[in-house]
Amino acid sequence: MSPAAPPVPPSAPRPAALQPLLPSDPSSIAGYRLLGRLGAGGMGVVYLGRTDNGELAAVKVTHADQADQADFRARFRREVEAARRVSSPWAVPVTGADPDAPEPWMATAFVPGPSLGEAVAAHGPLPERSVRILGGALARALAAVHAAGLVHRDVKPGNVLLAVDGPRLIDFGIARTTGETALTSTDMVVGTPGFLAPEQAEARAAAIGPPSDVFALGCLLAHAATGRPPFGTGAVDALLYRTVHDEPDLAGVPDGLLDLLRACLAKDPAPRPTAEEIADRLTEDTPGAPADWLPAPVVRTIAERSAAMLALPEIDATRLGASEGGGQAPPSRRRFLLLASGGAVLAAGGGVGAWAALRDDDKGRKAATPGGKRRWIIGVQADLTGPAKDIGRAQERGARLAVERFNARADKPFTLEVTVSDDGGDDRRALAAARVLTGDPDVLGVLGPTSDYTGLAALPAYDEARLPLITVSAGLNLLTNRATGQGLSVLQACPQHAIAGTHVAYYVLNKTGSVRPGILQERTDDTYAWQYIGGANFAFRQGKVAPVPRVVPGTTTDYKRVLGEMIAEGMDAYVHCGLTPSAVLAARALDELGFTGMKASGQHVFGPRFLAEAGEAAEGWILGAPVVDPATRKEASAFVAAHRKRYGAAPAYYTGESFDAVNLLLQEVEKIVKGGKAVDRTAMTTILRKVTYKGVMGDYAFDPEYGSLSSATVGTFIYTVENGRFKPLEFAPAGPPKNRRV
């Protein structure tokens, strides 16, 4: 599901996001007994803790390597100080902290309810009265923040927790004293795109103040009232641009809130109302008691999560102490059994992790085969039953062929098996599908996921486990975005979408000599299309041509009018940056208009659906894809023969690349084993990023820091549609025509 798609309400509320503790987790921190994990990422872990008197807390613990960074402790100490300075019933209080500990930690009161973002995604927009009470309480929380001389700077749906008696504002991690810029680069955008003010989007540090929080509050309330952010979704650059230049989308906001939200969302900070003024305006006409301020489905979610908290295990009669060796006592099997029996919250949220932690009786089950060789697992996370099931099944077959070939060797130093986890192409299932694989210590690495957004949703599990994740089809740049602390585990064995857009545009210039290429972005999948059009625009600038641009909503159907205007402006070639349904409409429109220039698009149009739905209008189109037809590669002949023997057909697209990705991993693991060293899967990503591998589909090398595919290796392959089929042509060129004259 793309970020631009409307939320699909599930049939039941999602369970609380509590995962069992891992064997490496401590059992307690500074008097807080740890009951489970609330979340984890590249910076650290948030645990659910409980004091001896039964009070629950969210305990945030940072990784030791983060604490070693020069300015990290200063930032963490400022977060603690900022949170302690705010006194409001609508802001979550700090209950304990130690910024100077080897692993700095901070505890805040625990609120069992969902975040505002979760509630809106699961149950849809809130009614006007709920939005008014929400806004009034948050405005009062912000008034307390501003009275303490602070600016929160990250007011967003994920930082608001919902309770029966009202909302709670959380996370002061990037809060700053008013006017303070010493620890912030003047050109750094701080905050969450889509929920930040224009002055934040333009990194005007001196202009950021309390009115910036008011703008963010306006965005948040618009999201709560309509179910969508007022500046859309998608690529970061696109969100920042719209925040600064576009008017907010307030369609569907109740009339009683429109004027106030428009005032909050003024581009200029000066006329925005203060937090106190907002609180007064939102609560003056609010009838009834606040206890029934939320719709029944949201209240039911809060009740279920609260009941799950009450079902957690009792405090042990004796404290967990140190082991005889002086170190931390390892988590006991009994403690994990108690956690697993603690209610639906654990059974639904972390059953796989709990199973992995309870493997004492199975120790050695996969340690060795009857022949005495170690057995490892290759994981595959793929869409096997959803919209991209053909690609997912092809990737699974590629992995199985690689494993079968390895196991057939007489000199193999270990044996392999395959475990497949189907996410159905649904980003809401992706994280659970990932934990099936990361929770098994015998999994060496994982091929997948199939799509961009399942990959993004699953990423926290792989980063937390430091388990190598090799994708041959997910080209989203956010998968390798170290700036956000994510993507530590990823290798992208395919070009990123922006690079692929550059490749296709270079092909158009080299083959046509175009001087006025048309370029259209449709916004069904804003992130993909924005990256693709950005790459294509870069190529056209390199080629010294000025394209004819258009950006259209994802709901646009009148492509004949839009493309007719582009032709009238001199368009002599066309690049479509979007998905298959709109490409079909564009193909039909260009055919009716008699357009004879080159027509091109990318990965998300390359597939049988475009051929079937566009029909004759697809003839002659150029498609760039991150896959090569195995029939064009003599190096792949043995692989093709093995696939035919195993599956009775020629390999589908993405099978060969998946075969290569698994063999890349196995090559390096085998080197380690033959060198007499132990295999540490948490170190494999770093090793793989430094490798150049010659596969049957081409050569692979990666950026050693980010894990993205090196520009010097496998790139974008070009196909044309001929007689209703994709005909392979060649790899796209690496640059514009030389000595080009315009």
Phi, psi of 150 (to 5 degrees): -120, 160
Local structure of 187: helix, strand or coil: coil
| Torsion angle of C-alpha atoms 210, 211, 216, 219, degrees rounded to 10 | 150
Question: Which parts of 148-183 fold into alpha helices (H)?
Answer: none
Q: Give the Cβ contact number of residue 96 at 10 Å.
A: 17
Please tell me the distance from the alpha carbon of residue 465 to that of residue 45, in angstroms, as a whole number: 12
Q: Give the Cβ contact number of residue 641 at 10 Å.
A: 11
Please tell me the distance from the alpha carbon of residue 489 to that of residue 479, in angstroms, as a whole number: 9
Token pair 């494993």 in the structure block, residue: 403
* Phi-psi category of residue 107: left, alpha or beta, with phi > 0 → left and psi -120 to 50 → alpha: beta
Token pair 């796989």 in the structure block, residue: 352
Q: Give yes or no for a contact between 398 and 656, defined as CB atoms under 8 angstroms apart.
A: yes
Buried b (16+ CB within 10 A) or exposed e, 341-374: ebbebbeebbbbbbbbbebeeeeeebeeeeeeee
Identify the active-site residue in 71, 98, 154, 268.
Answer: 154
Local structure of 304: helix, strand or coil: helix
Token pair 């591998």 in the structure block, residue: 693
In angstroms, the Cα distances linking 310 to 33, 53, 56, 513 are 15, 14, 10, 70
How many whole angstroms from its chain centre is CA 621? 31
Local structure of 366: helix, strand or coil: coil
Q: What is the DSSP string of 50-118?
A: E-TT--EEEEEEE-HHHHTSTTHHHHHHHHHHHHHH---TTBPPEEEEETTSSS-EEEEE---SPBHHH
Please tell me the distance from the alpha carbon of residue 577 to that of residue 571, in angstroms, as a whole number: 16
Please tell me the distance from the alpha carbon of residue 593 to that of residue 564, in angstroms, as a whole number: 7
Please tell me the distance from the alpha carbon of residue 528 to that of residue 372, in angstroms, as a whole number: 48
Local structure of 215: helix, strand or coil: helix
Please tell me the distance from the alpha carbon of residue 438 to that of residue 225, in angstroms, as a whole number: 38
Residue 241 one-letter amino acid:
Y
- Rg of the chain (C-alpha set): 27
Question: Which parts of 513-607 fold into alpha helices (H)?
Answer: 526-542, 559-568, 580-593
Beta strands in 327-433 (DSSP E): 375-382, 415-422
Q: What is the DSSP string of 551-571?
A: EE-TT---HHHHHHHHHHTT-
Q: What is the DSSP string of 437-497?
A: HHT-TTEEEEE--SSHHHHHHHHHHHHHHT--EEESS---GGGG-GGGT--TTEEE-S--H
User: Is the preceding omega at residue 449 within 30 degrees of 0, hence cis?
Assistant: yes
Phi, psi of 10 (to 5 degrees): -70, 170
CA-based nearest residue to 171, from 200, 191, 147, 197: 191
154 belongs to the catalytic site: yes
The one-character DSSP state at 544 is T
At 29, which helix (H) or strand (E)?
Answer: strand 28-29
Active-site positions read: 154
